Structure 1
Amino acid sequence: MARAGRKWLPVLLAWLFGTLTVAAQEAVVYGTITDEKTGEPLAGASVSAVEGRVGAVSDAGGCYRLRIQAGRMQLTFQYMGYKTARRDLTVHDSLRCDVRLRTAENELGEVTVTARSEMRRLKESAMPISVIGQRQLQGTASSINDVLARTVGVTVRNTGGMGSASRISVRGLEGKRMGMYVDDAPMSQLSNFVALNDIPTNMIERIEVYKGIVPYKFGGSALGGAVNVVTKEYPPVYFDVSYEIGSFGTHQVSAVMKRTDRRSGLQFGIGGVCTLAKNNYRMALDNLGGRTVERNHDRFGKIMGGMSLKATKWWFDEMKLELVAMKTRQEIQGIDFDVREAYNHSVNYITALTLKRRNFFLDGLDLDFDAGYVAGRYGLRDKAMHRYDWDGRELPPVSAFGGEQNSFPSDGRNRSGELTAKLNMGYTVDMHHTVNLNIYADRTSLHPSDSLMDRALGFRSNFPSRMNTLTVGFSYDLTLFGGRFQNAFTLKSFLFSSDSRSIDTYSVNEPEPVRVSKNYLGFSDALRYKFTDDLMLKASFNSEVRIPTSEELIGNGYSILASPALKPERTTGANVGLLYRRVKADGGLVEVELNGFYNQLEDMIRFTPDMIPTMARYRNFGSVRTKGVELEAKGDVCPLLYLYANGTYQDLRDVRKTIPGTEVENPTHGMRIPNVPYLLANFGAELHRENLFGGRGQNTRLLFDASYVHRYFYDFEMSKYQERRIPTSLTMDAAVEHSFDNDRWTLTLKMRNLAGRRVVSELNRPLPGRYVGFKVRYLFK
């Protein structure tokens, strides 16, 4: 077999590079067409080449895609009411060409032209949103978490180095309240095994951060907002590979290859990511009196691989099938004790289908359908027969059956399955009115198995459970006054049911079956009004519901108990903001945004220990009030320099007058919610210059970022002298990036935490110190 593999390897490589060479004879020019002053996308603009014999029309987002023969040519861009623009290009393979059209000086009198494509234009969103675009992502200096952490109103809290648990917070609402999406599809149960940070930034087109209101097209339920990662659209031939090596034994390799057949329109893709890290940095532990130790059991390894097949010339405009597999092994770092053997492990398989069709049996009706299934095997392996303290002294295990942590050993061999489906149908009635229907369904089943834990506890603690959710949303969009006024209203119905078992102090040995079925309603409304082309007002109001996740409602079958009486969280809030956005004559952008927000969160869900040893469950905490303000300014100072700065103040308070279930006065009434930062600020600069060292086709970027988080208390602030607090942090990052051969090769040297400061975002969980990394990337397109 080995000889056969060696025999066929040259043939395979020859075929690969042969297809790249043949395909390179055809190229694709793609990009966006926008208004020069407002930056709004222009739908229905025409693009033509080769004396008009080859053409295309921009879609609702202003995007166009034009297949041409490689060589020199002139493209012509035309749109009613705008001056014609022309671009002379030399195209070898595929090229992006973005164009800003200038309005014509002469009015067209009373002539009115209405086209269906114009009616479907996606206007500038009325929702509070931050968009992280190509400027922040086109380089290789940052991960997703790094970029999100520098976004106004967003906090990312980690427990350690590469692969550690992280929580994304928007305006103080974090964790499971945040909706996580990839290409508008909810991650749902998959977020327990894969993080947004696992996606390489060179595969991302943009990141959308929605605050307060989640767009109806996403489906599902979320309260704090949503983070949507939009992956790139690839040209017919694309090959991208990168390798990064860094401090603390960090290695990451990512690769993606896309190949499109010109005649059939079929696109085949394959790619993967492999991440390894020792995470062996030194940390000072408060529980050891500030003693410094080395993280000696925190190795992390993850490998992900997948393939996709997409058809664009069949009856559907897009039909895509994706298959993904991933495997993770993560050691558990001890803090109170020197854990030496325990680790978490998981293997997951994902199948996803996407169908898209414009004018679905009716002009103006668009169909978007997604379905997916995730099958997983996971568990905690903790069977050590000895424990050790940080002085190396041998201690007995937590149980006669072994174990280094908690109060029981574990040999988890759990299975999970999740089936999701999302249907989104939008209909443009006319140029003023649009309606949309979104249906999202999710079925989750858990099958835990841990015979070792059962023997140690003396009773069966693992049992199967199921949960079903159905969210139906109907929205209506109104556009008036030539697009100056927009309003989006959404009404949602949330239905969920569960089938689990409830363990309490009186039924440990015989858990009772529990079935739950509930229904709730929620709504939101967002509007925007443009005073001028550069200045606009945004306002939104929402009364939303978040359905508990499967882990919150039915537990995980072993360490987290079911909570059948758990109520969904509900928030009532408002946001008012001003946005000034001006496109400069040289193409640069200046943007200033101010937002004020207020939220009342009812039946807040928190993770709490249970009366049963080693167990915990989620409970409703009560009411929390949030209010705050955000300010951000960014722009191109000159063609070479880009600056940004932002600040956030968010005040979360306990507004419960009495302790839940009693008439006793609440001693923490009016106090700030603990373990949530309330004062944040960021600043950054980018200096970029083409051909800084001479030659052609080169680009150099110097990047600097600084982040500040004011200290906050881990517990309710009963006294300003209490010691359990998260200290103030000021961190600075820098990077140098140089690309050459027209961005085919990119070299990046980056440093995080330049000053090597001690940073803690979770109590007694120090983060890595100074990190130095080098990355090389090769891109063929």
Structure 2
Amino acid sequence: MWHSFFSNIFSLYSLLEGRAFCLFLFISALIPLSSHAQECIVHGRITDGHTGEALGRVYVMTNNNIAAISLPDGTYTIRLPLGKIVNIAFKSLGYETKNVIKKASAPDSIRHDVILFISENPLEEVVVTARSEARKLRESSMPISVISQHQLQGTASSVNEVLARTTGVTVRNTGGVGSASRISVRGLEGKRMGLFMDESPMGQMSNFISLNDIPTDMIERIEVYKGIVPYKFGGSALGGAVNIVTKEYPPFYFDVAYEISSFNTHRLSTILKHTDSKTGIQLGIGGYYTYSDNNYNMRLINLDDRIVRRNHDKFSNVLVGASLKATKWWFDELKYELLFSRTRQEIQGIDMDIREAFNHSSSIITGLTMKRKNFFADGVDFDFDLVYNYGRYGLKDTAKYRYDWNGKQYPAVSTYGGEQGNFPSDGRNKSHEVYGKLNLCYTLDKHHSINLNAYANHTRLLPKNELMDKVLGYAANHPSNMNSFAIGFSYDLALFDNRFQSAFTLKDFFFYSRSKVMESYNINELQTISLNRNHIGWSGSLRYRLSSVFLVKGSFNSEIRIPTSEELLGNGFSILPSTALEPERTTGCNLGFLYHKARKSGGFMEAEINGFYNNLSNMIRFTQDLLPSMARYRNFGSVQTYGIEGEIKGDVLPYLYVYANATYQDLRDTRKNIPGTNVSNPTKNKRIPNIPYMLGNFGMEFHHENLFGGKGQNTRILFDASYIHQYFYDFEVSVNQNRKIPTSFTMNAGIEHSFMNNKWTISIKLKNLTDREVWSELNRPLPRRSASLKIRYLLK
């Protein structure tokens, strides 16, 4: 494993010219140590005394002058001259001002955390303004779940595990670390979900960097939108969206974490940021590395319940990146980023003992971000992103023999080799993707604002698999181009001292693609396919605050999702083209109620319930083709969904936080006839198979400062439980239908202890405490009981 690790690092250094890379890292680390020797640095985190949430935009004033403004994660940093007594005031609208007197007697770094309490006589509007970003999002008109930074540091180790505990969300995995996964929100899953990072769509990048790869230590919060995708995100998605918001960093920030867990799993992540206070230029560098053998035991239901050890499921993934950010130029933020990633994933056999086949990918991503408030006019906010992604990927399957689970040897699938399917493969595909997003928001006054969003995407695929072409006797895959453009116009309205809010969005989607494809490998005639389509979608949402603790919200939408290049044109080795696909459209509504109250003794109580309806037409499903081992995407027809979800959470005691949520979602086939025929549909009004319909989560956290004595220490003891009711893999059209995904009930626990004012944190986690068998896909067992140890060092 370590040989693989160092090989990855060596290749990475070669790409980024390792010596210059190390010199840059060394100089960046020395800058803060040498530039302010005659000053004392005071830093810390500001939180709400009732909710414990981080407070952003708090003014930190020294001797009546603004010295700093806290970041969204509540952190602040100021510099004090040596030998002087300074009064530091922490001020935020709606909160009581807190004053602290400090004397800098020696050059040092002093941590001082601050807790602010809501003023006894706040104005209603002021209180809303002072709420944290996560709280404001939860109280917006859209149906949304927000996972704050505090919740990310629980028993979960990855983004998928965090999402799986969220109301209305399921995550379907096929195995351990790095395995294929699908995120589902209210039963709509896969490519219907929009995946975003800092409000930028991931698009083709998700084939190389998944949300699950991002270390939770680098995330400020996760936003899960249900039914409506915010207009400012751009792109086409329906059913919802997941947006990862990465952290904003103080002037100096160094964070490194290492985790080791069962099945020889290792995770390493680090980030270094340094900002020059005079120029406002921030330099950053960081990355992560993940490796796992995934060698857990599994029971093969399809082979007489045989117990075997997964022997070909190794996964490795490395990403490094650098950024340059300016905040004092004409733009409020001008940022350039460069990322490199590489992944290797072995293919675990289930029916046969696969020993050599694996998937591989690598990519280089570069991006430019520009933001400015009052862009050439008061009240106009400008936000622009431009990203280019170059990727290389493919399946390598060239083994000379195949083996069953008894060790018996068989000839390869072809005289040229191969362990799976009908053809060997040596994929060396390339892809180019460029996308740009422009968002212009004009605030007319405190009641009205309008927003214009434009999103353009160009994808060029260059498939190359000479080995497969050699077997077939002709080139099966050819270059293709796909262009899409979406423009959206939105209007926001706020009335009655902000008690009423509404938003309406109108979008126009256009896409064009051109390629040469084969509709079937047994008919080797090329067809030139040109597609040109245009569709309109819209959405609206509103909410009304009935009192200081209670609000009601509603939304309605008619959204469009354009098929991806893979769905239309295939992937070059296992998915056939399906150029006749129609875009999916969903029409739905949501009605929800939210209760939130701060407790006098500290903390809060919150309860939310939502009912939803959705009708999905031209549903796209991944189905097996007539050709063995090949598949393609097809329009399934119409699906109707009814559901209800609820959550309650809060501080039942000053040191005890509890949450519980539950979801029921009923997806039904509403097709009258079998597509393309006049034959009545035998599955009409039957529940859509292979999608969970009843699920829930429960958890609690005990937290206490200096539980074991000493100072600057904090301890958290955590417990989570998750339940998913059994569901059928196929349509339930016969009493003899017995292919089911069995009921899943898992429990996790952990303990986290930080000391030296959060500089060091040690976490121990146990997952699947009762060692239950768990599946979320048919015949794809998930890991059973596992343990992990994580050590983190943070300096800021």
Please indicate the TM-score interval, normalised by the length of the shorter structure. Answer: over 0.9
CA positional deviation for 1:459:
2.8
CA positional deviation for 1:40:
12
Where does residue 600 of structure 2 map in the other structure? 585
1:343 equivalent among 343, 352, 358: 358
1:725 equivalent among 729, 740, 752: 740
2:491 equivalent among 465, 468, 476: 476
Unaligned runs of 5+ residues in structure 2 are: 1-12, 103-107, 130-135
Summarize the Cα distance change of 1:36–1:365 in structure 2 as closer, same or farther, 3 Å threshold. farther
Summarize the Cα distance change of 1:10–1:195 in structure 2 as closer, same or farther, 3 Å threshold. closer
* Cα distance in 2 between the residues matched to 1:351 and 1:462: 28
Summarize the Cα distance change of 1:568–1:58 in structure 2 as closer, same or farther, 3 Å threshold. same
CA positional deviation for 1:589:
1.4
Where does residue 51 of structure 1 map in the other structure? 63
Aligned positions of 1:560-571 closer than 5 A: 560-571=575-586
* Cα distance in 2 between the residues matched to 1:64 and 1:364: 27
1:553 is paired with a residue whose SS is helix
* Cα distance in 1 between the residues matched to 2:647 and 2:250: 35
* Cα distance in 2 between the residues matched to 1:138 and 1:248: 22
Where does residue 660 of structure 1 map in the other structure? 675
2:171 equivalent among 156, 165, 176: 156
Aligned positions of 1:629-668 closer than 5 A: 629-668=644-683
CA positional deviation for 1:456:
1.5
* Cα distance in 1 between the residues matched to 2:541 and 2:713: 44
Where does residue 69 of structure 1 map in the other structure? 80
CA positional deviation for 1:514:
0.5
Where does residue 92 of structure 1 map in the other structure? 109
Amino acid at match of 2:197: V
Q: Is contact 1:84–1:101 with CA below 8 Å preserved after alignment?
A: yes
Where does residue 102 of structure 1 map in the other structure? 119
Where does residue 782 of structure 2 map in the other structure? 767
* Cα distance in 1 between the residues matched to 2:219 and 2:63: 34
Aligned positions of 1:245-264 closer than 5 A: 245-264=260-279
Summarize the Cα distance change of 1:728–1:67 in structure 2 as closer, same or farther, 3 Å threshold. same
* Cα distance in 1 between the residues matched to 2:51 and 2:365: 44
2:771 equivalent among 741, 748, 756: 756
1:202 equivalent among 217, 225, 233: 217
Summarize the Cα distance change of 1:30–1:265 in structure 2 as closer, same or farther, 3 Å threshold. farther
CA-to-aligned-CA distance 1:508-550 (integer Å, 9 cap, x gap): 3221110001000000000000100100001000001011111
1:452 equivalent among 451, 456, 467: 467
1:197 is paired with a residue whose SS is helix
Amino acid at match of 1:156: V
Summarize the Cα distance change of 1:87–1:766 in structure 2 as closer, same or farther, 3 Å threshold. farther
Amino acid at match of 2:634: R
Amino acid at match of 1:69: L
Unaligned runs of 5+ residues in structure 1 are: 109-113, 115-120
Summarize the Cα distance change of 1:523–1:388 in structure 2 as closer, same or farther, 3 Å threshold. same
* Cα distance in 2 between the residues matched to 1:157 and 1:588: 34
Summarize the Cα distance change of 1:125–1:759 in structure 2 as closer, same or farther, 3 Å threshold. same
2:205 is paired with a residue whose SS is helix
CA positional deviation for 1:149:
0.5
* Cα distance in 2 between the residues matched to 1:41 and 1:8: 38
* Cα distance in 1 between the residues matched to 2:259 and 2:556: 44
Q: Is contact 2:167–2:645 with CA below 8 Å preserved after alignment?
A: yes
* Cα distance in 2 between the residues matched to 1:401 and 1:193: 28
* Cα distance in 2 between the residues matched to 1:757 and 1:358: 53
* Cα distance in 1 between the residues matched to 2:70 and 2:394: 49
Aligned positions of 1:109-124 closer than 5 A: 124=139
Q: Is contact 2:271–2:284 with CA below 8 Å preserved after alignment?
A: yes
1:453 is paired with a residue whose SS is helix
Where does residue 364 of structure 1 map in the other structure? 379
CA positional deviation for 1:135:
2.2
Aligned positions of 1:235-254 closer than 5 A: 235-254=250-269
Where does residue 698 of structure 1 map in the other structure? 713
* Cα distance in 2 between the residues matched to 1:608 and 1:9: 46
CA positional deviation for 1:619:
1.0
Amino acid at match of 2:555: S
* Cα distance in 2 between the residues matched to 1:37 and 1:296: 47
CA-to-aligned-CA distance 1:283-341 (integer Å, 9 cap, x gap): 00111011101100001111111100100111100011000001111110000100000
Summarize the Cα distance change of 1:663–1:95 in structure 2 as closer, same or farther, 3 Å threshold. farther
Amino acid at match of 1:699: N
Summarize the Cα distance change of 1:563–1:10 in structure 2 as closer, same or farther, 3 Å threshold. closer
Residue 744, structure 1, aligned to residue 759, structure 2: yes
TM-score by length of 1: 0.92
CA positional deviation for 1:650:
0.4
Where does residue 189 of structure 1 map in the other structure? 204
Q: Is contact 1:408–1:614 with CA below 8 Å preserved after alignment?
A: no
Amino acid at match of 2:739: R
Where does residue 111 of structure 1 map in the other structure? none
* Cα distance in 2 between the residues matched to 1:486 and 1:6: 53
Aligned positions of 1:86-485 closer than 5 A: 86-88=98-100, 92=109, 97=114, 99-102=116-119, 104=121, 124-138=139-153, 141-485=156-500
CA positional deviation for 1:197:
1.2
CA-to-aligned-CA distance 1:471-514 (integer Å, 9 cap, x gap): 10110000001111000000000001111223235983221110
Amino acid at match of 1:144: V
Summarize the Cα distance change of 1:559–1:275 in structure 2 as closer, same or farther, 3 Å threshold. same
CA positional deviation for 1:54:
2.8
Q: Is contact 2:433–2:459 with CA below 8 Å preserved after alignment?
A: yes
CA positional deviation for 1:228:
0.5
1:623 equivalent among 638, 659, 662: 638
Residue 598, structure 1, aligned to residue 609, structure 2: no
Summarize the Cα distance change of 1:93–1:78 in structure 2 as closer, same or farther, 3 Å threshold. closer
Amino acid at match of 1:102: S
Aligned positions of 1:497-512 closer than 5 A: 497-505=512-520, 508-512=523-527
1:356 is paired with a residue whose SS is strand
Summarize the Cα distance change of 1:83–1:651 in structure 2 as closer, same or farther, 3 Å threshold. closer
Q: Is contact 1:591–1:635 with CA below 8 Å preserved after alignment?
A: yes
Q: Is contact 1:708–1:731 with CA below 8 Å preserved after alignment?
A: yes
RMSD of aligned residue pairs (Cα, Å): 2.9
* Cα distance in 2 between the residues matched to 1:588 and 1:123: 17
Q: Is contact 1:253–1:273 with CA below 8 Å preserved after alignment?
A: yes
Where does residue 7 of structure 2 map in the other structure? none
Summarize the Cα distance change of 1:220–1:16 in structure 2 as closer, same or farther, 3 Å threshold. closer
* Cα distance in 1 between the residues matched to 2:309 and 2:49: 55
Q: Is contact 1:56–1:64 with CA below 8 Å preserved after alignment?
A: no
* Cα distance in 2 between the residues matched to 1:346 and 1:603: 31
Q: Is contact 1:40–1:124 with CA below 8 Å preserved after alignment?
A: no
Summarize the Cα distance change of 1:733–1:627 in structure 2 as closer, same or farther, 3 Å threshold. same
2:150 is paired with a residue whose SS is helix
Q: Is contact 1:448–1:558 with CA below 8 Å preserved after alignment?
A: no
Summarize the Cα distance change of 1:12–1:533 in structure 2 as closer, same or farther, 3 Å threshold. closer
* Cα distance in 1 between the residues matched to 2:22 and 2:345: 37
CA positional deviation for 1:21:
2.6
Residue 526, structure 1, aligned to residue 550, structure 2: no
Number of matched pairs: 763
CA positional deviation for 1:192:
1.4
CA-to-aligned-CA distance 1:69-92 (integer Å, 9 cap, x gap): 388854435567x46512427693
1:736 is paired with a residue whose SS is strand
CA positional deviation for 1:32:
7.1
* Cα distance in 1 between the residues matched to 2:220 and 2:154: 12
Q: Is contact 2:469–2:476 with CA below 8 Å preserved after alignment?
A: yes
* Cα distance in 2 between the residues matched to 1:753 and 1:453: 42
Amino acid at match of 2:607: V
